[in-house]
Chain A
Amino acid sequence: MEIARKFKNQFSNVPMFGWLLGFLAAVLVEFFLGYDYISLVLGLPKIPVLFGTLVILKNPIMIPSIIAYDIIVYIIPILIVTKFTVSMTNKIATALEKTPIWLSTIIHLALFYGIMHLWAGINDYRILVIKLTMVSIILTISINVINGYQGEFSCSHPGFMAVGAYVSSILTLLLFVNDKMFGTALLPSALGPWLFPFILIIGGFAAALSSLLVAIPSFRTRGDYLAIISLAFMFIVKSAIENMDFIGGARGMSSQPDYASLPVIFCWTILTIWIVHNFVTSIMGKALNAVRDDEAASESMTVKTKKTKIIAFMFGAFWAGIAGGLFAHVLRFINPGTFSIQRLAEILAMVYFGGLNSIVGSIVGAVSISVLGEALRPLELFKWIIIPLILIFVMIYRPYGLISFKEINVKKLFRSKNK
């Protein structure tokens, strides 16, 4: 304990910029030395993808090498660089504090993206994991608007996601791809990546419209009853798609163009975080909390409760639709089975694990459950014993999730830590 505290004290004056620099160093070490020297010397067959968790579970003999690899590649460079550049990074952070907040945010995000790009570039599997994790972040934030901020227990999220995924897939296949389902492309495929954002937005709006089916019953019911209605909505969407043969029915749709690249998804994730953050910190967005905590009081305080509920559902569903569209273009294959009860369990696990009423919580929840899910993949069935167990412990010790009722404070996050 004493050592841990000392250790923490040593690094408490490192600003966010310093940590990013440290991670950059670690990633550069891995990029240039990872395969040729470090993993070869340690006797690893290749660079450990997710910090070696997969290898550990498959082949326990490798554990010492994996630990050594993680220490050499990640921990040592990060600690050395952050420690030795601390005076410089604090100066930079102080300088950035004087610039407008959006500029310093963009600089930090650009640096973060660069690091992530380098790290992911080493391996295709990493790219896929990061893409799916970011899609999960968008999904978790969007369900947090309904289940956290608005406080309804809605189970219809896979349905909204399916609507978004199908609408955007149909549009891209129809417009930009020659395939057997919709015939020749209507527009030159060079336009595709540029029009992709609009297609995603159309998918989002379609999902938002479909959410009215759940939003309107929510005027009169709450809690368990609304959960049942929303669950019904999810199954209706699923079986409706299964019975529509012109979009593939139960077989699904494939060969979506590869428009959802890493930077595209990253931009959408940041956009989601930014807009949802703006909304939930404004008085308009706080109205969601007011309606959740006491509807009668909100009405008497001039809050339009019905409008607020509709906004919450449509807004949440819109981002779920966007996430669905991105998801379809990451996997480049969707079928109705993808948007079923298992997906619902995953989304709910992420939002309740991470924390209700908090964007940071959603990010933490989405990242930890997605990465945990990937890392525990070798355990196969046991994965579904371990993750629920973790969830149960979170529910016992932190009933609202790990980080709940907290909003991001960008200024505080990036400030310098001079002593």
Chain B
Amino acid sequence: MEALLNVNKMTHYFGGLRAVHNYNLEIKPQQITGLIGPNGAGKTTIFNLITGVHTPTEGTIELQGENIVGLATNEIAAKGLGRTFQNLALWRHMNVLEHIKMAHYSQLTYGLIGSFFNTPACRKQEAEVEENSYRLLELFDIKQHADQLVTNLPYGAQRRVEMARAMATNPKILFLDEPTAGMTPDELVQMIKIIRQVHEDFKVAIFLIEHRMKFVMELCQYIQTLVFGELIAEGPPEDIQNNPKVIEAYLGKEDLT
């Protein structure tokens, strides 16, 4: 199968600091890929580089064979890279339904004039978007919160709003930045269920950053380990679990003397 996303020899410097070095990634359709590594390894930087927040110093990024280096974040997102954030990035004065509707922005074609005069085309598209949004809300089990402000929701529900919002952009690959950060064990189990469901229902590929090994090992089909901006190991979960380099990076070197 041809890869959806191809990252080749990506390197990035923040001033004199080399944050990412020679990073390669290949995501196949419907594959769940995990990126692990200790704090400060550059995992979120890689996310930001691929989604266009930063432009890589060197290297290429191709989405379905098309180069996306240098495009604006919103253009890359519209091409099919949806993402969530490590620290929730929700719009605090907007309700849940508006969040999901907002993420359809790139799919609207009625234009400014349409929105000024509330033309039939505008009304029709907005109605379609609303219908689709309710469908997503139902799927993520947050329909009962539809007209509440996100800040009033429990943490787990906020996470689900963020996921639903990312899915509303109609992504081919979903980027999840620590989807279980700050969750209780119960919520964690629920999250695994939701991610599995999204994976099956939408047939998306998923690329996730995570700290909790249990979560990563259970979900991912392929795992990369990043230390100080460099990949030290990659492969299926079983290989990673027993890889001495990974154990060293996480637990430190065993001193035998």
Contact = CB atoms under 8 A, between A and B. Distances in A.
Nearest to B107: A302
Nearest to B169: A302
Interface in B74-99: 74, 77-78, 82-83, 85, 89-94, 98
A302 B89 contact: no
Contact of A284 (B73, B92, B98, B112): B112
Contacts of B82: 300
Contacts of A292: 93
Most buried by B among A275, A296, A300: A300
B126 A297 contact: no
Interface in B91-120: 91-94, 98, 101-106, 108, 110, 112, 114-118
Given A282-B126, A299-B74, A301-B77, A287 B93 contact: no
Interface residues of B, number: 38
Nearest to A282: B115
B95 to A, nearest CB: 10
Q: How large is the interface on A (under 10, 10 to 19, 20 to 34, 35 or more residues)?
A: 20 to 34
Contact of A293 (B91, B106, B115): B91
B129 A296 contact: no
A282 B90 CA distance: 19
A305 B75 CA distance: 11
Contacts of A294: 89-92
Nearest to B116: A275
Contacts of A304: 72, 74, 105
A131 B118 CA distance: 28
Nearest to B52: A299
Contacts of B166: 300-301
Contact of A302 (B77, B85, B115, B129): B77
A289 B105 CA distance: 13
Most buried by A among B74, B94, B108, B165: B74
Contacts of B129: 283
A304 B98 CA distance: 17
A144 to B, nearest CB: 14
A99 B203 CA distance: 46
B224 interface: no
7 contacts: A278-B118, A283-B101, A289-B94, A293-B94, A299-B73, A299-B77, A302-B77
Given A294-B91, A301-B105, 19 more contacts: A282-B118, A283-B105, A286-B94, A286-B101, A286-B102, A289-B94, A290-B91, A290-B94, A292-B93, A293-B90, A297-B90, A298-B102, A300-B82, A301-B165, A301-B166, A302-B77, A302-B78, A302-B105, A305-B74
5 nearest A-B residue pairs (beta carbon)? A297-B89, A302-B106, A293-B91, A282-B115, A299-B73
